[in-house]
A = this chain, B = another copy of it.
Amino acid sequence: MKKSLIALAALATAGFASAQSSVTVFGVVDTAFQRVSRDAVGSDVTTNRLAAGASKTSRLGFRGVEDLGNGLKANFWLEAGISSDDGAGGSTRIATNNQATPAAVGGAGQGLTFNRRATVGLSGGFGEIRIGRDSVVGLLTQESFDPFEANGVGSQRQVVYANVAAVSTSISSVRASNLIGYFSPNIAGFTADFGYALNENASNAGVTKDNGRLITARLNYTLGAFNAKVGGTQIDYNTGDYQEFTVGASYDFGIVKPALAFHSNKIKGVNKTDVIIASLTAPVGPGLIRAAYTRADQKQGGNNDGNIFAIGYIYNLSKRTQLYTTYAVSDNKNGSTLYQVGGSPGAAAANGRTNGLDIGVTHAF
């Protein structure tokens, strides 16, 4: 305590400019009118709402970088998700994919919670080492092929993980706590990223010893307008270990940037789903068209197939502020009811359809 206060005091006496230059407050407030509909017996069921983060996730964060000399830098990053439609914050008790929700209500996840990222890191010629709560690079690989960034009615994630989510909603979260991450420097166009999340169980915990252990890796290659990525993740659980991998590529022709990815996920002994994600973005006028089609084909543990198609336009009012709209439609096949557009319209009828519309504004600061 005492030492820390002294350190801070020293920092303070260095002058305001210096003290404040070490922290950047940043964020996004993204709020949309959202209309989602689903099939129902007799007639469609529609819900209108305000939705947060339908284009970019609403968030507030604090970050900074310190130059330590000799090319070495220290950094920190604290980032919290916020529900800009109702002011609510995000909890780490939800969406932690490598540990179950704590039994104790009111324990972790309250107070000043940075559920999106809470890391300290050191970077230099060797790359970067970063520890804390962070994104899982292997799971991000899938998301990087979704032009809707897993947000709003157009979120391709809804279809990619529908079978997984039917078993457990926490598996496949793109974030993990207690993560040690390594990010390589760029070598001839290649970067390689690794992550290991500690399971934190006692060595005599028997079957639960490895519960929550997460291993992830991503390889990225860029040559001019061409980019390719491959990523994989394994998470150990008491029962039903989880595995996924994604491979895909994009090419930026300038007027249009198409991308294609193959993804597969499985909960061992429970289910396995293969997924194709095809997307494109195209700069048109003062904005960007984005479109994506994703098809999921369950290979094991059932035959719940489905797809989603989404198209939208982002209109740039400035570098920081955008208006946008997205329309999405999702269909079920082989009797499935699992697939739906983002925004939780509710389960469709068997082989049923859901659709959704977002009209919103994104403001970054």
Contacts and interface: CB of A to CB of B under 8 A. Distances in A.
A2 B112 CA distance: 25
A56 interface: yes
A2 B113 contact: no
A86 B99 CA distance: 11
Interface stretch (A238-246, A291-299, A315-323): A315-323
A117 to B, nearest CB: 7
Contacts of A7: 56, 319-320, 364
A240 to B, nearest CB: 23
Contacts of A72: 317
B364 A87 contact: no
A65 to B, nearest CB: 9
Contacts of A87: 78, 92, 113-118, 132-133, 177
A60 B60 contact: no
Nearest to A14: B319
A50 B198 contact: yes
Interface string A278-322: 000000000000000000000000000000000000000111110
B64 A365 contact: yes
A347 to B, nearest CB: 12
A149 interface: yes
Contacts of A11: 26, 319-320, 364-365
A88 B106 contact: no
Contacts of A193: none
- Main secondary structure on chain A at its contact with chain B? mixed
Given A26-B8, A132-B31, A201-B47, A177 B85 contact: yes
A253 interface: no
Report the interface size class on chain A: 35 or more
Copies of this polypeptide in the complex = 3
Most chain B CB inside 10 Å of its own CB: which residue of A80, A117, A320: A320
Given A2-B144, A78-B82, A120 B8 contact: no
A23 interface: yes
B86 A118 contact: yes
Nearest to A319: B10
A229 to B, nearest CB: 11
B140 A1 contact: yes
A79 to B, nearest CB: 9
Q: Which 7 A-B pairs have the closest CB atoms?
A: A89-B111, A86-B177, A111-B113, A80-B112, A87-B133, A87-B118, A89-B112
20 contacts: A3-B149, A8-B364, A11-B320, A16-B24, A20-B25, A22-B320, A30-B120, A31-B131, A50-B178, A66-B318, A80-B112, A81-B112, A86-B118, A87-B113, A87-B116, A88-B109, A106-B109, A110-B111, A111-B111, A111-B112
Interface of A: 1-4, 7-8, 10-12, 14, 16, 19-31, 33, 40, 43-50, 56-57, 60, 62, 64, 66, 68-69, 72, 74-76, 78, 80-94, 96, 105-120, 122, 131-133, 135, 140, 143-144, 149-150, 174, 177-180, 198, 200-204, 317-321, 346, 361, 363-365
Given A66-B363, A88-B109, 11 more contacts: A11-B365, A12-B24, A23-B26, A29-B132, A44-B203, A50-B177, A66-B321, A84-B133, A87-B114, A87-B115, A87-B133
